[in-house]
Amino acid sequence: MKYLNDLDFKNKRVLVRTDFNVPVENGMVRDDFRIKLALPTLEYILKQSKSKIVVVSHLGRPGGKVSPEFSLKPVAQILSKLLKKEVKFIADIKSAEGDEIVRNLSDGEIALAENIRFHPEEETNDEKFAIDVCHHFGVFVNDAFSASHRAHATIAQIPRFKPSCAGFLMQKEVEELSKALKPPKRPSMAVIGGAKIETKLPVIENLAKVYDVILLGGKISVEAKEKNMKFSQNVVLPEDFSEGNFDIGPKTIEKYVTAISAASFIVWNGPMGKFEEEAYRKGTDAVFEAIVSSDAWKIAGGGESVEYINSKDGAEKFDFISSGGGAMLEFLSGKRLPGIEALENSI
């Protein structure tokens, strides 16, 4: 896979795929975390002499139709503020007007194209659509790790037609999560919680092959016990739960906190209970405190865990926080992500 240093951006129109799938409420961006993560790549490219950028992203799941509530316009405003420069907005990258904006971008200019999922061909991974979207560009950069588990046109097709590389965020994600796949320090521990057992099982099974201990919590652990699921010996299920099974219980909390303090490498994905309600936050609070106060290398990820960590202003206390939800889980389950595969096989 090529990285930013491997390609020449001078005097080029550069197409950058980001994941600006951010929460928007009443036309306002509620959390700019993912926009900030794209800045190093965009700033690096803009510094190259006479380069110009068009950014494409999706937001939500508009189902291949134009839907104003999924517009990226509010994101363009935030991006402009963060970059401290004008960000042009392309209402439709496949229209004659879109074409004109792309062709007339001046050196050092940047534009953001409207939600690429307004076109059904994005999600059907349409080859011709991908060619149309990228035909004015000299190079392509994928900095959307968190969307790279999707075999979609601007993720999986474009690298077949343009010299392509990973952006800084993608590079960092692949480096750090590759460490998490083969923990360089022992004892290694994965703490897996959350609700969607079908997405977590492949991760538990894959990590159990290489990790010393896997602690399970959250709804998945309730379900695993109810269904009497069998795991390998290093997978630990809770001994007790809170009333209603909405959190791990006091005995489990004590046991998990002691185990965490002995680990040297920790990956955390998924809360231990229904943390949105204070009554069921004790397990997640205890696990979080134990992880951040340990000297272990700490990696966390997953939508809910990141939301929880941010609510505690805890991001700085981790060595790495993945921007990926589904993408992180698929990576950790050992699957090859279509976006990464496409970069590896790019022309």
The contact set with ligand 3PG (CB under 6 A) reads 19, 21, 61, 146-147, 150, 325-326
Catalytic, out of 225, 326, 334, 335: 326
Asked about 50 being catalytic, the answer comes back as no
3-state class (DSSP) for residue 277: coil
The whole-angstrom separation of Cα 48 and Cα 65 is 36
Say how far residue 335 (Cα) sits from the centre of its chain: 15
Length of the chain in residues, anyone?
347
Q: Which residue's C-beta sits nearest to ligand 3PG?
A: 21
Catalytic residue among 12, 13, 34, 282: 34
Closest among 211, 251, 261, 260 to 233, alpha carbons compared? 211
Strands (E), the chain: 13-17, 24-25, 28-29, 52-56, 87-90, 110-113, 139-142, 164-166, 188-192, 213-216, 235-236, 265-269, 297-301, 320-321
Q: Positive or negative CA dihedral for 75, 79, 82, 86?
A: negative
Please identify, using beta-carbon distances, which residue of 150 and 298 lies nearer to ligand 3PG: 150
Q: Is 303 a catalytic residue?
A: yes
- 46 close to 108: Cβ distance less than 8 angstroms: yes
| Active-site annotation holder among 60, 64, 108, 303 | 303
Kindly tell me which of 114 and 285 has the beta carbon lying closer to ligand 3PG: 114
- Helix (H, G, I), strand (E, B), or coil: what is residue 59? coil
Which residue number, 30 or 61, has a Cβ lying nearer to ligand 3PG? Answer: 61
Query: Which of the residues 94, 179, 196, 335 is marked catalytic?
Result: 196
Q: Under a CB-based contact definition with an 8 Å cutoff, are residues 307 and 300 in contact?
A: no
Does 217 qualify as catalytic in the annotation? no
> Please, which residue, 51 or 323, has the CB nearer to ligand 3PG?
323
Q: Is 324 a catalytic residue?
A: no
Shortest reach from residue 326's CB to ligand 3PG, in Å: 5
Nearest CB to ligand 3PG, comparing residues 115 and 146: 146
Q: To the nearest whole angstrom, how small is the minimum distance from the Cβ of residue 341 to ligand 3PG?
A: 17
User: Could you tell me the two tokens for 283?
Assistant: 């397990």
Structure tokens at 153: 């046109």
Q: Write down the least CB distance from residue 169 to ligand 3PG, Å.
A: 13
Shortest spacing between CB 33 and ligand 3PG, in angstroms = 11
Smallest distance, Å, CB 48 to ligand 3PG? 27
Which residues are the active-site residues? 34, 196, 303, 326
